Amino acid sequence: MSRTAPPAAGDDPRRRIPRTDALLALEEVERAKQRIGEENVRELVREAQDRARAGEIAPEEVEGEVLAALENTRVSAFTPVLNATGVIVHTNLGRAPLSPQALEALEAAAGYVDVEFDLETGLRGKRGVSTREALLKACPTAEEALAVNNGAAALSLIATTLAGPGAGERREIVLSRGEMIEIGAGFRLTELIESTGPVICEVGTTNRTHIADYEKALGESTAAILKIHASNYVIKGFTSAVSVAELAELAHANGLPLVVDIGSGLFSPEPLLPDEPTLTEALEQGADLVLASGDKLVGGPQAGLILGKKEWVERVARHPLARAMRADKLLLAALEATVGGPTPPVLEALHTNPDALKARTEALAGALRARTHEPCEVVPHDGRVGGGGGAEVPIPGWALQLPERLATELRGLERPIIATTRDGACLIDLRCIPEFEDDELVSAIAALLKR
């Protein structure tokens, strides 16, 4: 059997593959080293050279391959997307988008900062003082405030402090069965509470719980009464629940603290979400500790907010577990800028004027029709709070209706657009997309429609 002779050394195309040092010396490659790191750059160079050695690309294409790869490589694997779902606090898309003020605060805090240093004395200072002050200013009813790294941490820390190891014989936390909540990915708040030692004393039934149920449950082993807002579902029909004010009276008559988890974290009442509790109201009604998430309706970074009476917040803050859950400088900076700054993007999206949204959507549809001569209809579309807030509360709005196939193609763009599919159509809701993005949106959709 005959064999093809290998090319002579001088004819071997692999000899024309650019040397590593020559590629690394290119001006564009030098700049990329500063952006993504030298080791990442070297890896991309090796990959392009290996493709040429394998005959997948010509040696003359190696330099272009390297430059293209560098241009498309980011220091983080996260891909920025446009949220066209109409869901404001979209858990799968990172929940609350940060305000420009929060981004500025993050940049300022990225280097060395006085997060735990007293500039006046030159000694160690108290951590997060300005963030605490911003929280207390936003919620004057609270005597003290503490921020930890997320909402689950806040609940776990409070439960452990009040009824965990070291709490003596008082290890029970009384909770209504109608508030034993499971949130996304199978995560159950009851399992979180019990994971560090507290015992949950269940009272009432799924649909009805009365003050007498709580009274019967109290005893020598009771450490606290806990009320959790059912933020991601609604029980309708033959129902009954006990108010914060009634529970506070019962708890205080028995020398116990009342803990209220309000979930999404409004500071003051929101007319569009009349059933959503607020930090201020819960404290005014007698709660000793109130907790909420900072990355939902607060509109800030992932955080767990604990506000309430000074003695109880300080007790929680002194627990050894608080160290494992403490907020870092970036969280503290972004949270302070959000709470103390102008209206964050989350609340701006919530308050979007339906008429203005319709006019903007119709303008988008008109621009697409002019470019593509394809039918682009504007249809009613209810937005949602998302993230476990405002359960079952529709937010009237409008959406652009496109062929269903576009939903997949939009996700495949360099800047992915995440839409909703319903009744055989792809729906583009502009509620959560900044208006300055409209031109890019039109160009991207038009290109797909023409294809």
Residue 76 resides in a domain: no
On whether both 122 and 232 belong to a single domain, the answer is: yes
Residue 35 resides in a domain: yes
CB 254 within 8 A of CB 218: yes
In this prediction, residues 258-284 reach a mean pLDDT of 95
Residue 306 resides in a domain: yes
Mean confidence (pLDDT) of the chain? 94
H or E segment and range at residue 308: strand 304-308
Return the pLDDT at 270. 95
Residue 10 resides in a domain: no
Residue 257 has pLDDT above 70, yes or no: yes
Residue 5 resides in a domain: no
pLDDT tens figures, 293-331: 999 999 999 999 999 999 999 999 999 999 999 999 999
Token couple for 400: 């652009």
Q: What is the residue range of 314's domain?
A: 98-343
On whether both 153 and 243 belong to a single domain, the answer is: yes
Cα gap 61→357, rounded to integer Å = 48
Residue 397 resides in a domain: yes
On whether both 418 and 404 belong to a single domain, the answer is: yes
pLDDT tens figures, 170-202: 999 999 999 999 987 788 999 999 999 999 999
Cα gap 317→89, rounded to integer Å = 28
Domain harbouring 355, CATH code? 3.90.1150.180
In this prediction, what percent of the chain has a pLDDT beyond 70?
98
Residue 370 has pLDDT above 90, yes or no: yes
Residue 4 resides in a domain: no
Residue 1 has pLDDT above 60, yes or no: no
Give the burial string for 198-213 (b: 16+ CB within 10 Å, else e): bebbbbbeeeebbbeb
Among 139-148, 226-235, 260-269, the minimum mean pLDDT is found in: 226-235
pLDDT tier at 388, thresholds 50, 70, 90 = confident
On whether both 111 and 39 belong to a single domain, the answer is: no
Token couple for 418: 């995440």
Residue 301 resides in a domain: yes
Return the pLDDT at 9. 52
In this prediction, residues 221-248 reach a mean pLDDT of 94
On whether both 195 and 291 belong to a single domain, the answer is: yes
Residue 31 has pLDDT above 60, yes or no: yes
Domain boundary, last residue among 343, 372, 404:
343
On whether both 47 and 129 belong to a single domain, the answer is: no
H helices of 254-328, where? 279-284, 310-318, 321-324
CB 291 within 8 A of CB 226: no
Cα gap 174→213, rounded to integer Å = 10
Domain harbouring 262, CATH code? 3.40.640.10
On whether both 136 and 241 belong to a single domain, the answer is: yes
Return the pLDDT at 392. 84
Into how many domains does the chain fold? 3
User: Which one, of 72, 69, 65, lies nearest residue 18 by Cα?
Assistant: 65
Domain boundary, last residue among 282, 313, 343:
343
